[in-house]
Amino acid sequence: MQFGMIGGGSWATALAKILTDNGNTIHWWMRNTDTIAHLQKRRHNPHYLGAAYFDVQQIQLSSNLEQVIHQSDVLVVAIPSAYAVSTLANLPPKIFAGKKIVSAIKGMLPNTNQLLNEYLADAFGVTIDHYYTVLGPCHAEEVAAEKLSYLTFSGIDAEITANIAAHFKTEYMNTVVNADVRGVQYAAILKNIYALGAGIAHGLEYGDNFLSVYIANAAREMGNFLQKMVDQNAVCPNYAASVYLGDLLVTCYSLYSRNRTFGNMIGKGYSVKAAQLELNMVAEGYNASKCIHLTNKALKAEMPIATAIYNILWNHLSAKEGFRTIEQILL
């Protein structure tokens, strides 16, 4: 099984480390040729996870995306959701035929409010039985440090999903498999919004007591939204499982969380633009808050926390005023 990695950021680098540590040779697409040259010479990504070193014999680096796709059986897409369409749009329409796609994207495509599988189906005819997801709870920085972590793989064919997951299992990485392809993607999107809100709360100097109640209510709100998304004929997933509640907790609490960091700056009075410039990385929760707000217009789930965060980020509601409204609805 030949793996292709699409992306050059921290999450792509972490997943590439896991695959190569498990003995896999990978075809790795990066846009930046200088980064490729540095990695080939110095054996590490100069911009992300500099402590993660690679055996260059196990990585075939290229800035030619079509070439990487043709050489791979399984393609891991690990780019920020905001850049997914611009990265893939000019590819030939049949290029993914026969390929398995593993999404490591933790956001919605902002111009269409789609999940990646929905976009791939429309643009390239990729069917759901060739689409899989890999999600947390897992921070790239802890992968680089080889601290015990967990990845959840989702796909409708349990045997194939487990086979893909097995290539990521190492001494420091355990893998879990489920079939909730749609739900896990929305859970990853929502937890980034709530983590951004947790950061705002920290920036406003709320304490741990408040934050624990905030996260408990965010988990309930997320579960309500996901329940409305579940096919009525499907078995309801366990929303207390690690890929749902676990990922929410680690993203809200961890100092590695870029969404929490972004929110912390908003809580301290930074404008959205200033926070984006300071962070210098994509905080998926920002665009996700708008995508979920628009998606929920049709779904009509009760989402007062997500709505308050959306209004803070997009409608110039002050962080203090937004969290006063959240205070009133927490149970």
pLDDT in tens, 33-66: 999 999 999 999 999 999 999 999 999 999 999 9
- For the chain, give the mean pLDDT: 95
What digits encode the pLDDT tens for the residues 289-320? 999 999 999 999 999 999 999 999 999 999 99
Enter the pTM of the model: 0.94
Indicate whether 5 pLDDT > 80: yes
Tokens linked to 18: 């896991």
Q: Averaged over 138-145, what is the pLDDT?
A: 92
Homologous superfamily, domain 3-179: NAD(P)-binding Rossmann-like Domain (3.40.50.720)
Instruction: Give pLDDT, residue 70.
Output: 97
Q: How far is CA 75 from the centre of its chain?
A: 16
Please tell me whether residue 44 adopts helix, strand or coil conformation.
strand
For range 167-191, the mean pLDDT: 95
CATH superfamily of 187-329: N-(1-d-carboxylethyl)-l-norvaline Dehydrogenase; domain 2 (1.10.1040.10)
Q: How far apart are CA 125 and CA 212, in angstroms?
A: 43
Q: 3-class DSSP state for residue 61?
A: strand
Q: pLDDT value at position 231?
A: 61
Other beta carbons less than 10 A from residue 331's beta carbon: 6
pLDDT tens string 246-263: 999 999 999 999 999 999
Same fold, 3-179 and 187-329: no
- The lowest-confidence range among 51-65, 160-174, 193-207, 274-288 is 274-288
Residues 259 and 283: beta-carbon distance below 8 Å: yes
Long-range contacts of 158-164 (CB under 8 A, 24+ apart): 160/100, 160/132, 161/132, 163/1, 164/1, 164/74, 164/100, 164/102, 164/132
CA distance 129 to 152: 17
User: pLDDT at position 229, please?
Assistant: 83
pLDDT at 193: 98
pLDDT-based confidence at 240, cuts 50/70/90? Answer: confident
Task: Indicate the pairing of strand 173-178 with strand 149-154.
Answer: parallel
Domain boundaries, the chain: 3-179, 187-329
- The C-alpha atoms of residue 194 and residue 122 are separated, in whole angstroms, by 30
Which distant-in-sequence residues (6+ apart) come within 8 Å of 91 by Cβ?
65, 66, 69, 124
